Amino acid sequence: MNKVTDAREAVADIRDGASLAVGGFGLCGIPMDLIDAIADRGVHGLRVVSNNCGVDGWGLGVLLDAGRIARMTSSYMGEHAEFGRRFRSGELEVELVPQGTLAERLRAGGAGIPAFYTPVGAGTDLASGGIPLRHAPDGSVAAHAPAREVRVIDGAEVVLERAITCDFGLVHAAVADTVGNLVFHSSARNFNPLCAMAGRITIAEAESIVPSGTLDPDHIHLPGIFVQRVVRARATTPKRVERRAVTAP
């Protein structure tokens, strides 16, 4: 078994309207080379699940700015100006999800749990269905996210959340072996293992690729059963820092 291929080949069957679970938190741990390869393919109408959507001109921002994304599922749009503009003008549908709920929905999708109850969002307009999902061109709210089923378990209100699975999972790892076992580095792990689990076909880019049998099985963070294709990340692709603390001690 050898899952190693190149980025262009790895994304060749991603078509218009595909759903993608994309790892990363801000610009940390994002699969930048895979994003670039998808941008080169010129596909449209992508439905992307990712905690954030990059920044203007970097990360998923590359696809967003080019109008390739129709729908985002995210917890935070941050300071990405184009993301906000497209959302408010109705060009982009955005499902806002609490960050932990997003992580668990992806994990559940990969773990075969179709839905779960969580206390997060109980008593807020997440549960009652008041968070804007889509705007009209004039900026008014055209659709709200649907209300969640709510029930009381052990005396506390909880809301039903559905699992997320996607056509493709796109992740970034520090090290992969040739059969797709992955090792992540530091906080670049974030959503990557969960997006890998939630993808029906998962493509991992890795900073280095080692032969199968090289990694200590005790030190593998994500087993290769969740990864179908492995791509070597370009050494020339920079890792960007989104923000720096104002004062260094």
Work out the number of other CB atoms within 10 angstroms of the CB of residue 190: 21
Shortest Å, Cβ 151 to other proteins: 16
Residue 54 or residue 230: which is nearer to other proteins going by CB?
A: 54
Interface with other proteins includes 25 (CB under 8 A)? yes
Separation between Cα atoms, residue 221 and residue 46, nearest integer Å? 28
Q: Does 99 bind other proteins (CB under 8 A)?
A: yes
Q: Please check whether residue 146 is in contact with residue 183, taking contact to mean a CB–CB distance below 8 angstroms.
A: no
Closest CA to 73 of 150, 13, 145, 121: 145
Among 33, 57, 10, smallest CA distance to 168 is for 10
Instruction: Give the nearer residue to other proteins in terms of CB position, either 125 or 149.
Output: 125
Report the residue number, 66 or 156, with the smaller CB distance to other proteins: 156
Count, residues near other proteins per rule CB under 8 A: 59
Q: Which residues contact residue 219 at a Cβ distance below 8 angstroms, ignoring those fewer than 6 apart?
A: 183
Encoded amino acid at 170, one letter: L
The span of 41-49, 144-152, 210-218, 234-242 binding other proteins (CB under 8 A) equals 234-242
Mode of pairing for the β-strands spanning 229-232 and 4-5: parallel
Is residue 220 packed enough to be buried (19+ CB in 10 Å), middle (13-18) or exposed (0-12)? middle
Q: How far is the CB of 162 from other proteins (least distance, A)?
A: 16
- Residue 13 lies near other proteins (rule: CB under 8 A): no
The one segment of 1-9, 13-21, 127-135, 211-219 that binds other proteins by CB under 8 A: 127-135
Site string for other proteins, 139-168 (x = CB under 8 A): ------------------------------
Beta strands in 126-198 (DSSP E): 132-135, 141-144, 150-153, 156-162, 166-177, 182-183
Nearer to other proteins, 123 or 213 (CB): 123
- Give whichever of 14 and 126 is closer to other proteins, judged by the CB atom: 126
Residues 198 and 106 sit within 8 Å (Cβ to Cβ): yes
x/- site string to other proteins, residues 183 to 222, per CB under 8 A?
-xxxxxxxxxxx--------------------------x-
Applying CB under 8 A, among 75, 165, 202, 228 the residue interacting with other proteins is 75
Nearer to other proteins, 12 or 113 (CB): 113
User: ∠ CA 240-244-246 to the nearest 5 degrees?
Assistant: 165
d(CA 100, CA 244): 25
29 touches other proteins by CB under 8 A: yes
Given the rule CB under 8 A, which residues bind other proteins? 25-29, 51, 74-78, 84, 87-88, 96, 98-104, 106-107, 118-126, 130-132, 174, 184-194, 221, 239-245, 247-249
